[in-house]
Structure 1
Amino acid sequence: MSLFSELRLAVPWGHIAVKVWGSQKNPPVLCLHGWLDNANSFDRLIPLLPQDFHYVAMDFGGHGLSSHYSPGLPYYHLHFVSEVRRVAAAFKWNRFSFMGHSFVLFSCLAGGTFACIFPEMVDKLILLESTPLVLDCNEPENILTYKQRNIEHMLQVEASQNSLRVSNMEDLLQRLLNKNSHLNKECGELLLQRGTRKMGTGVVLNRDRRLAMPEHSFDFLSKEMLVHFIRRLRANVLMIKATQGYYDVRRANDEKKEAMLFIVDTLRNILKERFQYVEVPGNHYIHMNDHHLVAGLVSSFLQSQPRTALML
């Protein structure tokens, strides 16, 4: 399935850039990238999926080819959820499905939160190496610290007079791979194609410098609130977990699987037959590095008949 078009959707601070595959007459699937990634992260997977769907991969604000937020406006989780609503409004969707990668921050958290806030609009939710919401089991005292750091970091960036760092593509690629051992070279190059732009004799990163550590922008939930949110879900949910992937949003706590296991158990107990959980071999970028492994699972789920949700 070849790329149908590149579009820019107008928003008050500029535009949201999207990549579109397939006819707009087909059922829509909104594809959401992970933290500091961009819409190119779906370039290898979408061509293997059923062609009777309309796939739209968006760049969140401050990423890829989308506009940065206006000066003085921080990046918060609910802002990204509102971006999803704006895209749905631009395409005049009344009901659609999500496919998102990574619980670090956008994809599944924005999609999952949206599906809880607007349950009547979401048909299916595909979680690639992610959970629909973010749970904090043991460190609630850190939440206010993260919010403080988000504001302070924004002010520091605004006060900085440093110019953009111009590099060559080889150096940028090596830095990306050094920071993310789950990416291979080919996939790193694919992300940088959309994540950089030419400047002078080199290239610079497109992303907004105000984007700090992802947990600074999260809306963490307690166990009680997470259960309440999931009870609102009316969508069918497919969660694909890589055996060598991530289990906790804080990499230092990745060996602690309590949050992940609690969320999976809660989804299974509440959604029952509307929830599917599958483990596949691979790492966090399973949809890019080993896209053939997940294409069949995603295709079958998209083409399956929806199960009616209970009204809670």
Structure 2
Amino acid sequence: MTHVYPLRRSSRSEFLTLRGLRHHVLRWGQPLPGQPPLVMLHGWMDVAASFQFVVDALAGEREIVALDWRGFGLSDRAGADCYWFPDYLGDLDALLDRLSPGAPVDLLGHSMGGNVAMSYAGVRPQRIRRLINLEGFGMPDVASAAAPERLNRWLDELKAPPELRPYATLAAVAERLMKNNARLTPDKAAWLAGHWARETAEGFVLNADPAHKLANPVLYRKDEVLACWRRIAAPVLWVEGSEDQLARFWGRRFPREDFEARLAEVPQVQRSVLADAGHMLHHDQPEALAAQIDAFLAG
């Protein structure tokens, strides 16, 4: 029998129209005078509810807002057959216009969300008080010569769009989550499954637009990303798990020394490695991560 995850802080589910799309947000706590909201951005193929465990472990009371990116969770799909990275920056800018138009916020992003947060903090440095990046390494630089083959692959995939296979039960979704992350406990997996997937006539399907799996026709340009990183004015807390994700995901395509050189370009960085944690460190070690977040935001 799977134990029920003991929820400590209840969230409020709300919808905001941002740039013409209905976006889903989760909100914990209430605005406090003089205290900026903490805005949380999830990673690729994830959802805002993924932050529940670390929110439960944070000390004190403060306003926390987590966004479902377009095409993920309960937010609208883009309405096109592709997703472009600049749209995430535009959606985040519109969200902050709604949440805190006249004052900076504290911003936290995981993986893809961490990459968005870093770029945004360089483009709009005045809007971020403190920035937390959880394993948002970026991607390997891509040479211009790769453009024809990448575009060719993208055009081919447009003719046969990817699909997301259904699962027979929510328990099967939870099993998939634990297969992806061996550190995820059954109670957390069962709780996440209900947010990660929805029931359809074919079974339980992930809350994500399959178009996210298309090859990206826009090449990753390290120099352009670093031009943004160099402009970050906020103090940055960089947190990664002890399990080396760069080697796991990219091998020699993205060597560790390349990332170290990139992070050295950021003006103010405090670094931390969480023991016994992988890429989903907010699931693996939420209490340890929350303690670091509390200390950094209070510093």
Interval of TM-score (by shorter of Structure 1 and Structure 2): 0.7 to 0.9
How far, CA to CA, are the matches of 1:54 and 1:280 in structure 2? 25
Tell me which of 271, 274, 288 is aligned to 1:277.
271
Q: How many residues align?
A: 288
Q: Which residue of 2 aligns with 1:298?
A: 293
Alignment partner of 1:136 is 2:140: yes
- For the pair 1:111 / 2:117, whether they are aligned, the reply is yes
TM-aligned CA deviation for residue 256 of structure 1: 2.7
Q: Is the 8 A contact 1:63 1:207 kept in 2?
A: yes
Residue of structure 2 equivalent to 1:14: 21
Q: 1:108, 1:97 → 2: CA distance?
A: 13
Specify the alignment match of 2:210 in structure 1: 209
Instruction: Give the whole-Å Cα distance in 1 for the aligned partners of 2:55 and 2:44.
Output: 19
Aligned match of 1:309: none
- Rounded to whole Å, the distance in 1 between the matches of 2:298 and 2:19 is 36
**Alpha-carbon separation, structure 2, partners of 1:9 and 1:226:** 29
Task: Summarize the Cα distance change of 1:300–1:172 in structure 2 as closer, same or farther, 3 Å threshold.
Answer: same
Which residue in 2 is equivalent to 1:54? 63
Q: 1:120 to 1:193 in 2, by over 3 A?
A: same
Question: What is the CA-CA distance between 1:211 and the residue it aligns to?
Answer: 1.1
Q: Once the two structures are superposed, what CA deviation does each residue of 1:242-278 show, in whole Å capped at 9, x if it has no partner? A: 11041269445478313322122222xxx1xx31011
Task: Give 1:221 deviation, angstroms.
Answer: 2.5
Q: Provide the C-alpha distance between the structure 1 equivalents of 2:82 and 2:108, rounded to a whole number of angstroms.
A: 25
Q: TM-score, normalised by structure 2?
A: 0.84
2:73 is aligned to: 64
Give the deviation of 1:116 after TM superposition.
1.2
TM-score scaled by length of structure 1: 0.80
Aligned-CA RMSD value? 2.9
Residue in 2 aligned with 1:220? Answer: 220
Q: How far has the Cα of 1:226 moved from its partner?
A: 4.2
Contact 1:247 1:254 in 2 (8 A): no
Whether the 8 Å CA contact 1:246–1:254 is kept in 2: the answer is no
CA–CA separation in structure 2 for the residues paired with 1:82 and 1:27? 20
CA distance in 2, matches of 1:191, 1:142: 38
Structure 2 unaligned spans of 5+: 1-7
* Residue type of the alignment partner of 1:203: F
Deviations 1:79-128 (A, max 9, x none): 111111121122243311111111xx2x1111111111111111111011
